[in-house]
Chains A and B, each alone.
Chain A
């Protein structure tokens, strides 16, 4: 795992990339790759790379070039099928000079061009500079596991794994929060690529490749999620056969991610089904010592210790735990926002930042997690809730209504179904839209959107008539309406939250903050394609979520874990930021002066929100979901402004470690 960056001057009038700019990029990306760094200045282009060595520890230095130095590569991530691709390319007459996956990536591009990317089964962000064609090619894995940002400014393209490296490279790039991005966050809980939280910076969409020459920019999707048409089954087998196939594919995907590493690989164990299954399959793939890692909470509402320990002891792993308290979350939250580089409505990333530190301190560089199972195999409550609401729409008089809702939300101590009549009013609204796209997500968006009342007048003016949901609907793939309702809901979940929040703010950024690489067997290309081919009823059987996955786990994962009620991963939210022990940064972020400086929120409304939350905490009344999201949203946006815009930090000092670990390549393409 690594950090990548680069600068390309689009025309002769633009400044050529300078070595200090590239070195500032590697300094800003040091946490992503502490083992080595390298830059290359190649006339109009410059590339930067920081490396976390996982495969071919001795080789694989980057920026990496081909035999005649006509193409240069920086690459972050893994192409897990690189050995198979190497064999295939050898068969096609290509010769290899190393064992590294990096060489396979570049030679695959040399051979197949942009068609190489759809052959990659992995998680990657790639920048290739083709000197002959004066072309920059940027590509990102199918589901957006690895990040890639792009900024065009003053005739130059600057790209990097993290936005902070773009800002570090070129302090002349204007910095401002993008009001539309904040509006999206207060709708979808995320900013949708290609937009980012910052006005001048774009995110390359998952599964996309963009090529840039001085004369034109082209972008296309080399992959997009696809589902069978409803009524036209794509899977002929029985549920039993599907169970076998899911188990076998997951075992293969897990073992590939265990074995394609020259360092030990560990696993996260949350106590839920997905990570337990992955840890079990991983344990079977190795004979060497195997470490597992868990977050525990001192608040029993969130804690899952019992199940975590059960799994770890069944597997006989070296189990590591960290106990997270509310004040830990408040303490690390500024770091979380600095790494996440986006506004957040939840604190859930914070414990994962603490967990990745534990992994690093235990000497492990790679962990497997269960991310992606809920999206691919329909684990979220939202899918069940949508199914119930569609049932209501078809059977308006059913007496089952309140009981169905109680089945969906039994775990919430602050249940939205506490009052049957109100729940009916809330969930039973707009049922006439049941056949329209977005119906499943409408309650989520509808409960989040009203929080925009906190926006300052100038913010409302900047957003204007922009309609985030309308814009999303305009992006639906043409075949979307032909899919099953579940597949349609899954598409929205993947588009709005998988890469935009889960794999980034809770995944890559919290892991890489501690130089740890995450690997996600559920997002294996073949697993995803199998999951999408299966009939909806195999995934969500009546209201039984992840049905086929539970079957596939039988006999592998302890029965108690399979049978337990699904508990979504959550962390204590706003409580952490309130009360007498609240850290100074909270008070600072909520001051009228800092709120006015950021210009996003109305200071009086925020003061009322803060007073309400403080009052409720003091009286022992739990905060509502809306108040929680509101407070976390305000604080994270304020931190974002403070960190990246207001207290514009000096560009990071150039890390001048002039030892064997850093490589500097000069213009003519030869190492000094």
Chain B
């Protein structure tokens, strides 16, 4: 599974988004309210355990967390840096 597929699958399941809602990869999860301030911490915990990365507080910002695409891109940057 590609990173973006894994992130999408996590978002859809963890935030119980039904199939009836078409959630595009670049939609703002924060604006839609699907991910709220606590949800961001759930995303963070998922990324840390799934990809073995460490995410610092100053990385938990909307630019990295606001859409499926942004999250995937953030993870890929982090893992590339670690590699």
**Residues on A facing B (Cβ under 8 Å):** 414, 416-423, 425-426, 446-447, 449-450, 453-454, 457, 460, 602, 604-606, 608-609, 612, 624-626, 630
User: What's the nearest-Cβ distance from chain A to residue B51, in Å?
Assistant: 19
Q: Are A418 and B37 in touch, CB under 8 angstroms?
A: yes
Q: Are B60 and A419 in contact (CB under 8 A)?
A: yes
Does the CB pair A450–B33 fall under 8 Å?
A: yes
Interchain Cβ contacts under 8 Å between A and B, 10 examples: A417-B37, A418-B41, A419-B60, A423-B37, A446-B33, A450-B33, A602-B18, A604-B19, A606-B16, A624-B42
Minimum CB distance partner of A418 in chain B: B41
| Given A453-B34, A608-B13, CB of A421 within 8 Å of CB of B61 | yes
A residues within 8 A CB of B14?
Answer: 608, 612
Closest A-chain residue to B38, C-beta based?
A624
Given A422-B60, A422-B62, A425-B62, is A414 in contact with B38 using a C-beta cutoff of 8 Å? Answer: yes
Add 9 more A-B contacts to A604-B18, A608-B14 (CB < 8 A): A421-B58, A421-B61, A422-B61, A425-B61, A426-B30, A453-B34, A605-B17, A606-B16, A624-B36
Q: Is the interface of A mostly helix, strand, loop or mixed?
A: helix
Q: Mark B19-40, 1 if CB is under 8 A from A, else 0.
A: 1110000000010111011111
Q: Which residues of B contact A421 (CB under 8 A)?
A: 57-58, 60-62
Q: Nearest chain B CB to A592's CB is how many angstroms away?
A: 13
Known: A426-B36, A446-B33. A453 touches B41 (CB 8 A): no
7 closest residue pairs by CB, A with B: A450-B33, A624-B38, A608-B16, A605-B18, A602-B18, A416-B37, A609-B16
Q: How close is A608's CB to chain B, nearest CB, in angstroms?
A: 4
With most chain B CB atoms within 10 A of its CB, the pick from A420, A421, A606 is: A421
Q: Which of B17, B36, B38, B62 contacts A453 (CB 8 A)?
A: B17
In angstroms, how far is the closest chain B Cβ from the Cβ of A259? Answer: 48
Check A447–B36 contact: CB distance below 8 A. yes
A residues within 8 A CB of B41?
Answer: 418-419
Contact between B16 and A626, CB atoms less than 8 A apart: no
User: In the complex, what distance in Å separates the CA atom of A446 from the CA atom of B65?
Assistant: 18
A421–B57 CA distance with the chains assembled, in angstroms? 9
Assembled-state Cα–Cα distance A450/B19 (Å): 15
Chain A residue at smallest Cβ distance from B14: A612
Least CB distance, B2 to chain A, in whole angstroms: 22
What is the CB-to-nearest-CB distance from A607 to chain B, in angstroms, rounded to a whole number? 8
Q: CA–CA, A612 to B14, complex, Å?
A: 7
Q: Which residues of B contact A609 (CB under 8 A)?
A: 16
State whether A419 touches B37 (Cβ < 8 A): yes
Give chain A residues whose Cβ lies under 8 Å from the Cβ of B16. 453-454, 605-606, 608-609, 612, 630
The listed residue (B19, B20, B36, B58) touching A460 by CB distance below 8 A is: B20
- CA gap between A418 and B18 in the complex, in Å: 28
Q: Which of chain A's residues has its CB closest to B23's CB?
A: A453
**Are the CB atoms of A626 and B39 closer together than 8 Å?**
yes
Alpha-carbon separation in the docked complex, A332 to B73 (Å): 48
A419 to B58, CA, bound (A): 9
Nearest Cβ distance between residue B52 and chain A, in whole angstroms?
18
* Residues on the A chain within 8 Å of B19, using CB: 604
Chain A residues in 8 Å Cβ range of B32: 450
Q: How far in angstroms is the closest Cβ of chain A from B18?
A: 4
Q: How far is the CA of A423 from the CA of B39 in the complex (A)?
A: 12
A630–B36 Cα gap in the complex (Å)?
13
Measured between alpha carbons, how far is A346 from B42 in the docked complex, in Å?
Answer: 22
In angstroms, Cα B9 to Cα A608, docked, is: 12
- Name the CB-closest residue of A to B65: A422
CA distance A661 to B58 in the complex (A): 71
Q: Which residues of A contact B57 (CB under 8 A)?
A: 419-421
Min Cβ gap A467→B in Å is 16
Q: Which residues of B contact A604 (CB under 8 A)?
A: 18-19
Given contacts A450-B32, A450-B34, A453-B34, contact A422 B20 (CB under 8 A): no
Contact of B18 among A422, A446, A454, A626 (CB under 8 A): A454
How far apart sit A175 and B38, CA to CA, in the bound complex (Å)?
38
Q: Which residues of the other chain, A, contact B15 by a CB distance below 8 angstroms? A: 453
Give chain A residues whose Cβ lies under 8 Å from the Cβ of B62.
421-422, 425
Complex formed: what's the CA distance from A317 to B21 in Å?
57
Q: How far is the CB of B41 from chain A (nearest CB, A)?
A: 7
Chain A CB within 10 Å — which of B16, B39, B60 has the most?
B16
Hey, which chain B residues are within 8 Å of A612, CB to CB? 13-14, 16
Question: Cβ of A420: which chain B residues have Cβ within 8 Å of it?
Answer: 57
Closest to B44 in A: A419
Task: Please tell me which one of the listed residues A422, A449, A453 contacts residue B37 in the complex, with CB atoms under 8 A apart.
Answer: A422
Min CB gap B75→A, angstroms: 18
Give the shortest distance, in Å, between A187 (CB) and chain B (any CB): 12
CA A624 to CA B65, docked complex, whole Å: 18
**Alpha-carbon gap, A605 to B14, bound state (A):** 10
Interchain CA distance A624-B15 in the complex, whole Å:
11
* A426 in complex: contacting residue of B18, B37, B42, CB < 8 Å: B37
What is the bound-complex CA distance between A602 and B12, given in angstroms? 14
A472 to B42, CA, bound (A): 34
For residue A625, which residues in chain B have a CB less than 8 angstroms away from its CB?
Answer: 36, 38
Asked if A416 and B38 sit within 8 Å, CB to CB, the answer is: yes
Residues of A within 8 A of B38 (CB): 414, 416, 418, 624-626
